[in-house]
Structure 1
Amino acid sequence: MPDSGTSTLFDDLREAVTAPDLTQAEALQLCRSGTLLRAMMLVIVVLGVGLMFDARSLTTWLGELSSAAAVAVPATLLWVLMACGARHLIAKTAPMVQVAAASALGAVAALALWWPMASVGMAPAHSTHAIAPALTGALLAALIFQSERWRQRARLPAAAAARLADLQTRIRPHFLFNTLNTAITLVQLDPKRAEEVLEDLSDLFRAALGALDQDTTVGAEIELSRRYLAIEQLRFGRRLDVEWDLDPHAAAAKLPPLALQPLIENAVRHGIEPADKGGTIEIRTRRRRDRVLISVTNTVARGPSKPGHGIGIASVRERLRLMHDLDADFRSGLTEDGRYRVSIGLPC
């Protein structure tokens, strides 16, 4: 019989690919900066193209576009804020009702910005009646809402591919064999320590084969990484020096499951294992206002190291993008002092 954890993983992948519809407004992630940025760009482009049909010159078109943008840009921001605040109510309705609700909020947002300008004679020349900005706001809101839904659907195959790639990085045969050999050696020398190693290994594989759709936290990922490094410490001994610099206020930030351990495993494989004298791995977390910063830094071996495929880092980067969109920041490369660092920035 197949392993239940593996079956659960592939069931999750199949459901992700065959999901029939996105009926939850929350799934559209309306409260993120990426949504606001795409909405602003879409509104400006649509207005710009529409105003081209009546513009007699480039100067006239730029003037009309700037006048329309004076209403459209703050109205778009207001719509995103209202849609974000009402997302829990919108999520309880049918898909068509969701679009209608988004359109109604768009009309309200457009009128809320147009009316004060019209009262002082500053309204755009093409919107002398309230019906024009109301319909424009409603149509643009519906277009933005639907485009976010289409974008979410298009991301489902990418999410499945990222999960498959992640599965390839999670179960490394050499790590499993080395750990089992270490446990076998410890059975006679230190049975209690051998039991602890097998418990740590069990926890790692339980997380690796667990449900990928359940978000985890920085604190949970740190604890899992400690277990992984405890196993590797038995193999490398003094060659592996680990420095922890952790901010307790960063522990609650959301992460995809098993996002940190593959980065630390890469640091061990490419920074510690090929070095005769070993090296140092530094794991650091910090909270800065509404952002959490995570870094994994390792010394680099002077001699040749095993070439990597980049699957682990690519998988973590992709899953962070799928979870946090443009709010996540992922960087990797050599530092000025010759060490290799992977840095992650997350919203709280």
Structure 2
Amino acid sequence: MHPESALLPFDESTALGGLSQPEDPTVRLPARVNVFDACNVGVVLRAVLFVEAVVGVGAMFGTSLLADWLLRFALLTGGVLPATLTWLIGACVLKAYLARLRTGYQWLAGIGLGALAGLYGCGLLALMGLLAPAPWLASAAAGALLSSVLVAGLVWRAKARTPAATAARLAELQSRIRPHFLFNTLNSAIALVRAEPAKAEAVLEDLSELFRHALAEQAESVTLGQEIALAQRYLAIEQIRFGERLRVQWRLDPEAEPAKLPPLLLQPLVENAVRHGVEPSAQGAQVKISTARRGSMVVLKVTNSSPAGVGERGHGLALANVRERLALLHDVQAQFKTVFKDGVFQVRLEIPL
């Protein structure tokens, strides 16, 4: 029996309907979780911009001319900016220690550190003779208040990074091994059992490895090398199914493999390439996966040719989830782009090494 003759149609929507679960709107942090993830370029930029915006608004009180506002804003920035950076550096340096505290104590530590930073900023301005008398108590209170807002932002970010908070957003990605893919793979393996038992065994091993990763408790990040190995198993299965219709080209840079990615990020991109490039076309399509290290960044590209009349349709939900997960891990340090031109669709990721 030819392998493709064993492929049976399968209603994916029916199966998925039985597996869907309602989204839990209540998200809680566990008793111990590190809310101080200030060692991040995006966090630093947002914190500085927020504090400077507050200072800018505060400088408007008591001034009626633009020149007076600019002068007061510049003077206050001379104390507030070093104090903010001190708070961020302190939160980053103490990250490992604070992670061992309960969440409530982390809040208190962050607010206390903000009060000290406020005193530090006030001291700088007093030392330069710009504050007389120095408002020590008001500065400590302002530092504590601003730091509480920053801690609240970090807590919200920590919630978004925890598996409980991202469960709903990962639901679509967790169903990436679609039911019809599972049944087609099993049918292909059955068809190969008598004619080519070694190949059938390899197919089942690849399928088992895919499901082992799908059902395992996921870490926050994995290496690009691990993701490539998993994608290779997936494409090996699809190669049995599509034969010459699926033409895969790998162009891999070994120096790029240590880059960190959210788990199971590459496989949905590869599946999209097969689903929207190979499946709709009787002639099949070419799928290219390339990695390259460029300084401190790694560039990952997944490219597929598309049959005539099939453009970017269908490239939506999975890509949006991939983009969001990448932003949760690397924030502004990572980039995600998609391009469709001349019948070729490409996903391009830039990841810090």
Give the conservation status (yes or no) of the 8 Å contact 2:36–2:91: no
The match for 1:41 is: 49
Task: Name the residue aligned to 2:7.
Answer: none
Which of 318, 321, 330 is matched with 2:327 structurally? 321
The match for 1:287 among 290, 293, 299 is: 293
> Does the 8 Å contact 1:127/1:133 carry over to 2?
no
Q: Which residue of 1 aligns with 2:168?
A: 161
Tell me if structure 2 keeps the 8 A contact 1:274–1:306: no
1:308 counterpart SS class: coil
CA deviation string 1:235-266 (max 9, x = no partner): 22223222212222221222222110110011
Structure 1 residue ranges without an equivalent (≥5): 1-8
List runs of 5+ in structure 2 lacking aligned partners.
1-18
Deviation at 1:130, TM superposition (A): 5.0
Q: Spell out the pairing of 1:263-282 with structure 2 (5 A cutoff).
A: 263-282=269-288
Distance change >3 Å, CA 153–CA 256, structure 1 → 2: closer
- Taking a change above 3 Å as real, the CA distance of residues 344 and 42 of structure 1, as seen in their structure-2 partners, is same
Tell me, in whole angstroms, the C-alpha distance in 2 between the residues paired with 1:202 and 1:82. Answer: 46
1:334 and 1:340 in contact (8 A); partners too: yes
Mapped pair 1:31 → 2:36: no
The answer to whether the 8 A contact 2:126-2:132 is kept is no
Letter in 2 for 1:340: F
Shift of 1:314: 2.0
1:1-348 correspondence to structure 2 within 5 Å: 17-21=26-30, 23-24=32-33, 26-110=34-118, 112=120, 115=123, 118-121=126-129, 123=130, 125=131, 128=134, 130-153=136-159, 159-168=166-175, 170-304=176-310, 307-308=313-314, 310-335=316-341, 338-348=343-353
Distance 1:198 1:259 in 2: 22
User: Is the Cα contact below 8 Å between 2:27 and 2:159 reproduced in 1?
Assistant: no
What is the DSSP-based 3-state SS (H/G/I as helix, E as strand, rest coil) of the residue aligned with 2:306? coil
- SS of the residue aligned with 1:292? strand
Shift of 1:36: 1.0
Flag the 1:97–1:303 CA change in 2: closer, same or farther, 3 A. Answer: closer
Contact 1:274 1:305 in 2 (8 A): no
- The percent of aligned pairs where both chains have the same amino acid is 44
Of residues 241-250 and 130-139 in structure 1, the stretch that sits farther from structure 2 once superposed is 130-139
* Distance in 1 of aligned mates of 2:265 and 2:155: 26
Deviations 1:104-141 (A, max 9, x none): 433444555554554344x4x57745555444334322
Amino acid corresponding to residue 339 of structure 1 in structure 2? V
Paired amino acid for 2:347: V
1:266 to 1:132, Cα distance in 2 relative to 1, 3 A: same
The residue number in structure 2 matching 1:3 is: none
Could you state the TM-score of these two structures normalised by the residue count of structure 2? 0.82
Give the whole-Å Cα distance in 2 for the aligned partners of 1:81 and 1:105: 11
* Pair 59,214 (structure 1): closer, same or farther in 2 beyond 3 Å: closer
Q: Secondary structure in 2 aligned to 1:345?
A: strand
3-state SS in 2 of match to 1:315:
helix
Alignment length (residue pairs): 333
TM-score for both structures, normalised by structure 1? 0.83
Aligned partners of 1:104 and 1:138 also within 8 Å: yes
Report the aligned-residue RMSD: 3.0
Q: Which residue of 2 aligns with 1:6?
A: none
Which contiguous aligned blocks of 4+ residues in structure 1 show a shift greater than 6 angstroms? 154-157
Q: What is the Cα deviation at residue 330 of structure 1?
A: 1.5
Q: CA deviation at 1:183?
A: 1.2
Cα distance in 2, alignment partners of residues 114 and 287 from structure 1: 45
Of residues 136-145 and 252-261 in structure 1, the stretch that sits farther from structure 2 once superposed is 136-145
Report SS of the residue matched to 1:45: helix
SS of residue in 2 equivalent to 1:274: coil
Q: Alpha carbons of 1:180 and 1:21: their partners in 2 closer, same or farther (altered >3 Å)? A: closer
